[in-house]
Chain A
């Protein structure tokens, strides 16, 4: 297929799930399961379309299409463009396929809910996935904001889905307040960019700002945009909504949030920082990202260590992993960016797996806290095995996928002699391993703390079991095939981020290509293996210590994460002011 034809099919990848979303509530009146089946078909169709475009995009081409044939006139673009480069396409592919898998698991687990509930759930799920795909592929700043808003609106009602749980509504309110403030920040940032450059198209903005991106208005705009998208990504101190939303939402929805939705923030930050505002023109956005990343990685891991609620623990771990992603981005080298791209995919896989396991435990037994669980491995061996696979992947143990992506990021930090971030990464990895290992032990293998195993409500459904097996297989596959994935997926994504002029030129010329970049990973690197062994050895006493001081530490965390929406909003705005002040000095 010619690239022009492929480009004109780009908006279909967003339109197909949207059409299915509009049909879901009507179809739900006929049959309960029909909307879910429709959702799976729509997402797979969208994924198939994306796969058609994958060969040429991963070869270095940027597929560009201007809607309605409103191509730029003398370098000024009024129309909206879709520009698929390797960085965005990776995220879009992941959204389509992982979304389909999560809908399948919901279908099997929650398939006996009422028809109106299932129709609404499928509609919102599809709209969220469509918005994430649209945001990844778009080449226009305001269009990015519109898809961000669609994703946000779909997420509010999904958080509040189980109306019988009072905490679901409390969590939905906090998500609403914090995401709305973030959306105002992004909106103001976009308006400031337009007024100072006169452009809304990302390629045109890059051209207008090149060399001038040290101007104060542009830097304030960058600060607001980074702050707004960091809220979506759950970076400390913008993270207030994340633990509450994940704790209260249904299992597959938490998997969607952590595996796909928070990544949107990081994808957007990378696109803006590397391809639009470009680095090194008199502003230190990379230093800012490094600080935010290190704070989130270490802080999120420490907060996860002392949690009692399983899903809340996993949510804090998401905050930590997003910090790791930002650190990988901030290293700005080919290895670091390839590592970040690899980690994006890996995190989606293992975090979705962990949340599906946690959600299915809540669904089958009604137990949400680790202190209520115990000894579940005998009754649910598959869930226990899948959870252990997820824990090993996060900890970076070979042969699972975390080893490769974390190894790449560590190597990037070492080769640039950035010792403080490297040590912080190691600390965060030790604490993460301790937190998750402790969770796995307490939930599945230790005898129940309260003396009795929680009641058994229903069996594990086939669809959910299949989803867990598929995700575990994915974790293993991405761990044992690093050279293939690196050469064909991660390296082109890194190349796309490292050549902003190539991206901008391609967008304005309705097509172009980006020179490739070489990244290699030495699987048997002694430093990487030593890191793994060292972290495992240090994690065990850490976990034991956490068990001892748990109650007192929880009192401290309650003073920080107070539960009051005013406080969370205060942290967010304070963080925004600091971000802008640091950038626009």
Chain B
């Protein structure tokens, strides 16, 4: 352990953990991987047969000019199916981790164990200062007790997520003009499936627009529009649509993720058939899922403290973003 720097000395010491051992292990891995990549095929190697197959089958088999989309949503669509539910698992997981305390109907031995562990921990920590300051900051955020008047008045480094307040009129007007244009761009990315794009980038752009609105227009306005309950239903519907698209292949063509929608003409919106349907369901799921995840992260409050201390504070809380009305 290093000694504390003396008063007035401007020294920034990053706490580290066994730098020598770490450097040695990393160096060993670097040497091994470096030798391996030296022997990999380089840029003059021919394309693999499966890659050539993917390129060759794009136009005649799917009427699409975008082989990457064809591989992602069509030929290897089952991987993307798994990936959709990977994102769903992450979003539901973040929702679980960011949840508020709910009423429990009965005795739970784990709560006893938790109380015991928390008291042991707090008793062993020598500094109660951070806890007190953090709770004061939390109270200030929620309009109870004394806290900084604006986010600018609060010193950096406090352990609290800030709720966004609206920015100046220039920014707000700019966002109001740009947001519809950007939404159209996002929809264009997934609708024109024969040019580079697809469901994932489209969904990411739409989430970006929601965040833009949150940052510039402020938390209160966005809270009225983006409520967690309908967004969650939309996300699950998007996921179910993805399954439906894949199951359609099983029902109509006898194989999961087969192409069962008619292929349109080349260079038109419905040109990929199932590719477009998959891409559209994906955009719904990704956009709503990432919105839920981000607002869940922003809305985490500390109400999982030891039971004796916090029950009365929890009940007098104002309703906030991320809470399902119960």
Contact = CB atoms under 8 A, between A and B. Distances in A.
Interface of A: 8, 11-12, 15, 18-19, 21-23, 25-26, 65-70, 73-74, 76-80, 112-117, 120-121, 123-124, 127, 130-131, 134, 142-143, 146-147, 149-150, 153-154, 156-157, 160-167, 172, 188, 192, 194-196, 198-200, 216-217, 220, 250, 361-368, 455, 457-458, 564, 566-567, 570, 573-574, 576-577, 580-581, 584
B75 A11 contact: no
Contact of A457 (B28, B74, B112, B116): B112
B40 A192 contact: yes
A68 B49 contact: no
A365 B109 contact: yes
A116 B39 CA distance: 52
A157 B253 contact: no
A65 to B, nearest CB: 7
A78 B85 contact: no
A39 to B, nearest CB: 14
A68 B256 contact: yes
A327 to B, nearest CB: 26
A312 B256 CA distance: 42
Interface residues of B, number: 81
Interface stretch (B19-27, B131-139, B142-150): B19-27
A166 B104 contact: no
B118 to A, nearest CB: 6
A375 to B, nearest CB: 17
Contact of B96 (A74, A124, A364, A368): A124
A150 B109 contact: no
A130 B118 CA distance: 35
Nearest to A22: B239
A76 B236 CA distance: 36
Interface string B88-108: 111011111101001111111
B110 A220 contact: no
Contacts of B21: 570
A73 B115 CA distance: 62
Given A80-B79, A166-B121, A217-B36, A160 B97 contact: yes
Given A26-B236, A164-B111, A127 B102 contact: no
B106 A112 contact: yes
B78 A67 contact: yes
Most buried by B among A11, A216, A573: A11
Interface of B: 17-18, 21-22, 25-26, 28-29, 32-33, 36, 39-41, 48-51, 53-54, 57, 71, 74-79, 82-83, 85-86, 88-90, 92-97, 99, 102-118, 121, 232-233, 236, 239-240, 243, 246-247, 249-250, 253-259, 304, 306-307, 324
B134 to A, nearest CB: 15
Contacts of A196: 40-41
Contacts of B112: 365-366, 455, 457
B184 to A, nearest CB: 29
24 contacts: A19-B240, A19-B243, A21-B88, A22-B243, A80-B79, A112-B105, A114-B103, A116-B102, A120-B93, A123-B92, A127-B92, A143-B79, A150-B86, A157-B94, A164-B115, A164-B306, A166-B114, A166-B118, A192-B40, A195-B40, A220-B32, A363-B109, A366-B109, A366-B113
Contacts of A250: 110
Given A366-B110, A566-B18, A78 B76 contact: yes
B92 A68 contact: no
Given A79-B75, A570-B21, A127 B110 contact: no
Contacts of A112: 104-106
Contact of A143 (B32, B78, B307): B78
Contacts of B82: 131, 134, 143, 146-147, 150
Nearest to B100: A116
A246 to B, nearest CB: 14
A233 to B, nearest CB: 21
Contacts of A11: 78, 246, 250, 256-257
Contacts of B95: 116, 120
